Structure 1
Amino acid sequence: MARKTNASDLVLTILPDSAQRIPSGPRVNRNRLMPGLRVRHDGWTEERTQRFFDALGHTGCVRDAARVAGVSNAAAYRMKRRFPLFAQAWEDALDRAGQGLLAIAYKRAVEGRETVIIRGGQEYERRITPSDAILGLLLKRGDMAGTGALPGGKLPDDLLSFDEWQRHKRFDDYGRKIEIEDPETSKDKFIAKLTEIRNRLKEYGRQGVACPTCHQPLPDGWPNQSMAVLVASGLVGPNELFDD
């Protein structure tokens, strides 16, 4: 029994290379997104995975992305539930799609849409009319606020305020906001660790019986070699060799 034909089926029939016309997005690593998943020629290969996320980031539609990649909707949602990194890449692709749609909406709202008026079989006039409805929607959402704020005054993930910077907010390798440790706290921990190492090496130097690195006995005649290294490196001053 033949199933009902969808409009998307007709598009793919007319444009058999439609997947190639989708702009390429960020490269994805199939093994990283789905660790431990066995590779099958009819499953989530590297090429199919890349094609799926390219299409998802372009259209924002899971059904269309799955069709272009040659996988089922159910398989796509199953991978999303099973693998956290796959789910994160999924959300990132939808964010990219949303940004593209927002750009189109902005252009329609501000620059307007061109309408050609035909009279007597000939072009009579061209009108460019901005969309007040779309403009109002963008303003209501906060997408056209001067600060780029989202509803509730929250900044989008591609912006970092001075207040957030002072609260040690930074961007990670994926462009997401993260909170890092206070640099002063990190500095104090680092100095404390160096002081601990320095004191331990000083004690080894006083004893002169073991290597401060491997803890093996030092040969005769080398009792102060470890301390000489410390003095040469500047970690210990000459007057600190035997200070209490």
Structure 2
Amino acid sequence: MTQPTPDSRRRRPRRNGWTNERRKVFLNVLRAWGNVAHAAHVAGMSREGAYRLRRRCPQFARAWDAAMAHDAPPLPVTRRPVTTIEKALVGDPEEVRYHGKRVGYRYRPDGMVGLALLRRLDRLLD
């Protein structure tokens, strides 16, 4: 009689573990953003748990690699300039690359623009 492999055993899914739905959410967010910590947070799990699952489940590891290799479409080009408030609160888009391929965009708020806005508001209140 052969011993079952860890992947061939059927386990009852845990309510607080990596359910199929959480895996789908994680992979979709990872494909869109290219950020493991953000994808795990959106899925309601930890970054460390995602890496443990990747080591444990080869099928999930292949899906992870496919999500990271996905080349995201470019941001839509807007005809209007970014307002100062948008730049302070949201930030300018910045490409995120993984192994030379574009995997998403990150937005970093500009703190100096935010401080300039606050100074301008202070002058208006004086």
Q: TM-score, normalised by structure 2?
A: 0.51
Structure 2 stretches lacking a partner, 5+ long: 1-6, 83-94, 101-126
Aligned pairs for 1:192-207 within 5 A: none
Number of equivalences: 79
Question: What is the match of residue 167 of structure 1?
Answer: none
Q: Which amino acid aligns with 1:68?
A: V
Match of 1:90 among 43, 64, 70: 64
Cα RMSD (Å): 3.1
The answer as to 2:15 corresponding to 1:50 is no
The question of 1:69 aligning with 2:43 is answered: yes
Secondary structure, counterpart of 1:104 in structure 2: coil
For 1:60, the equivalent position in structure 2 comes to 34
Matched, 1:104 2:74: yes
Q: Which amino acid aligns with 1:40?
A: R
Q: Which runs of 4+ in 1 moved over 6 A?
A: none
Using the TM superposition, give the Cα deviation of residue 73 of structure 1 relative to its aligned residue in structure 2, in angstroms.
0.4
Q: CA deviation at 1:44?
A: 0.9
2-structure distance, mates of 1:47, 1:75: 15
Between structure 1 and structure 2, the one with the greater Rg is 1
> For residues 115 and 58 of structure 1, do their structure 2 counterparts lie closer, same or farther at Cα, with a shift above 3 Å needed?
same
How big is each residue's C-alpha offset from its partner over 1:54-82, in whole Å with a ceiling of 9 and x where there is no partner?
A: 11111111111101111110010011112
Report the counterpart of residue 39 of structure 1 in structure 2.
Answer: 13
Cα-to-partner distance string for 1:121-179 (whole Å, 9 max, x where unaligned):
xxxxxxxxxxxxx9xxxxxx7xxxxxxxxxxxxxxxxxxxxxxxxxxxxxxxxxxxxxx
What SS class does the counterpart of residue 54 from structure 2 fall into? Answer: helix
TM-score w.r.t. length of structure 1: 0.28
Look up the SS of the partner of 2:74 in the other structure.
Answer: helix
Alignment of 1:1-244 (within 5 A): 36=9, 38-96=12-70, 99-100=71-72, 103-104=73-74, 114-116=79-81
Q: Deviations over 1:78-133 (max 9, x none)?
A: 1111222111100111122xx11xx316x66xxxx53449xxxxxxxxxxxxxxxx
